[in-house]
């Protein structure tokens, strides 16, 4: 099965904002509720920050900033700077997090596009959770170049793989999407969830499509290795491959 970059609804700007917000909430329900993916990412990232002596953790392509949310709740993140950012920043979510955790959450409210050179990403641990498959295949090398030009520690986590099993599990995500109005009944926005999940129930279908498409967009370890080999200074990358996940950790190569 070859990698295919088909469109995903959550990338489209023409989707009504209420339905888009629901798609991101289902992502949160799956990765922070059904699975403990975001929690595990937060723990791994804290460990990376500790072992590399970094005081700043920047969540790139953060969406609703699930990793920053998990980190902010942990006592061990006291004294650190947690910085969510995105190509399309979720300003309302960032403001809420910055208000609740004013001592440690400092969002970037302007757009941060990883396909362009970035100057704000040094001296930190950079986290990409479930975002690399949103970079078109032909631009991924450029993003690796942007990241590897910083002196930061890079941590990439993908919650899916390009396998039949992963696609089957992603297809089942129709059900948590349909359950969204119940899952988040205590949270504001119930009307929006009832509208897009039950009355005009397009969100469960869109999320199921996005899940399967996300699997098809994934690269295998050997495809990532080929992309790193094409960089002017190939870094040494640590790969950890689970049955339904991939983690990669690397630094830019120190000048010899």
For position 211 contacting ligand SAM by CB under 6 A, the verdict is: no
Taking the complex as a whole, the smallest distance from the CB of residue 86 to ligand SAM amounts, in Å, to: 5
Q: Please identify, using beta-carbon distances, which residue of 63 and 107 lies nearer to ligand SAM.
A: 63
Taking the complex as a whole, the smallest distance from the CB of residue 256 to ligand SAM amounts, in Å, to: 31
* Sheet strand arrangement including 56-60: 81-84, 56-60, 125-129, 153-158, 245-251, 237-242
Taking the complex as a whole, the smallest distance from the CB of residue 133 to ligand SAM amounts, in Å, to: 8
DSSP state of 88: S
Taking the complex as a whole, the smallest distance from the CB of residue 128 to ligand SAM amounts, in Å, to: 7
For position 177 contacting ligand SAM by CB under 6 A, the verdict is: no
Of 99, 103, 102, which is closest to residue 91 (Cα–Cα)?
99
Q: Please identify, using beta-carbon distances, which residue of 11 and 223 lies nearer to ligand SAM.
A: 11
DSSP state of 235: P
Chosen residue from 114, 154, 169, 195 binding ligand SAM by CB under 6 A:
114
For position 160 contacting ligand SAM by CB under 6 A, the verdict is: no
Contact predicate 22/187, CB 8 Å:
no
* CA-based radius of gyration for the chain: 18
Taking the complex as a whole, the smallest distance from the CB of residue 254 to ligand SAM amounts, in Å, to: 26
Query: Encoding tokens for residue 225?
Result: 């290795």
For position 27 contacting ligand SAM by CB under 6 A, the verdict is: yes
Return d(Cα 1, Cα 20) in angstroms, integer.
29
Return d(Cα 44, Cα 108) in angstroms, integer.
23
For position 131 contacting ligand SAM by CB under 6 A, the verdict is: yes
Q: Please identify, using beta-carbon distances, which residue of 78 and 119 lies nearer to ligand SAM.
A: 119
Instruction: Give every CB contact of residue 205 below 8 A, 6+ residues apart in sequence.
Output: 174
Return d(Cα 67, Cα 20) in angstroms, integer.
19
For position 10 contacting ligand SAM by CB under 6 A, the verdict is: yes
- The site for ligand SAM (CB under 6 A) is made up of 10, 27, 60-64, 66, 86-88, 112-115, 129-131, 134-135
């Amino acid at each position: 099965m070859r990698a295919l970059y088909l469109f995903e609804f959550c990338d489209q700007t023409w989707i009504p904002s209420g339905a888009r917000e629901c798609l991101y909430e289902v992502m949160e329900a799956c990765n922070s509720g059904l699975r403990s993916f975001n929690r595990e990412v937060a723990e791994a990232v804290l460990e990376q920050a500790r072992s590399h002596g970094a005081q700043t953790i920047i969540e790139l392509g953060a969406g609703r900033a699930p990793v920053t949310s998990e980190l902010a709740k942990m006592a061990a993140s006291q004294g650190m700077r947690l910085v969510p950012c995105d190509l399309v920043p979720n300003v309302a979510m960032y403001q809420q997090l910055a208000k609740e955790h004013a001592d440690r959450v400092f969002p970037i409210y302007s757009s941060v596009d990883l396909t362009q050179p970035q100057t704000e990403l040094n001296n930190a641990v950079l986290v990409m959770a479930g975002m690399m498959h949103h970079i078109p295949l032909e631009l991924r090398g450029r993003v690796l170049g942007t990241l590897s030009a910083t002196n930061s520690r890079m941590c990439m986590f993908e919650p899916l793989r390009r396998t039949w099993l992963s696609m089957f599990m992603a297809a089942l995500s129709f059900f948590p999407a349909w359950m969204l109005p119940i899952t988040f009944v205590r949270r504001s926005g119930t009307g929006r969830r009832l509208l897009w999940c039950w009355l005009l129930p397009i969100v469960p279908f869109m999320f199921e499509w996005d899940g399967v498409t996300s699997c098809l967009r994934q690269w295998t370890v050997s495809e990532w290795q080929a992309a790193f080999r094409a960089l002017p200074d190939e870094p040494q990358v640590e790969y950890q491959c689970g049955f339904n996940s991939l983690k990669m950790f690397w630094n830019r190569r120190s000048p010899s």
